[in-house]
Amino acid sequence: IKLERNDLLLRQATQMARIGGWEFIPKNNRFYWSEITREMYGAPADFVPNQVNALAFYKDPTSRKTMRKAFLD
């Protein structure tokens, strides 16, 4: 129950503060975006980020290049 309560508090805090989160899992090349991250980028709720389409959200060319190298190399 303590873990469930902590999860609830974390979700409430990120909603109130508008803090997005994302995770890349190299083992299976999968991305996870939180609901807030999708909202921040204007992506639909059913958007499934991957190594290619997620990079399009990095507007700064230097940032995009850095992330491309991290994800694709």
Model confidence over 16-53: pLDDT tens digits?
Answer: 999 999 998 888 888 999 999 999 999 999 999 998 89
Q: Which residue has the tokens 């290619």?
A: 52
Cβ neighbours of 64 (radius 10 Å): 14
- Is residue 58's pLDDT more than 90? no
Global pTM reads 0.73
Cα(18)–Cα(66) distance, integer angstroms = 25
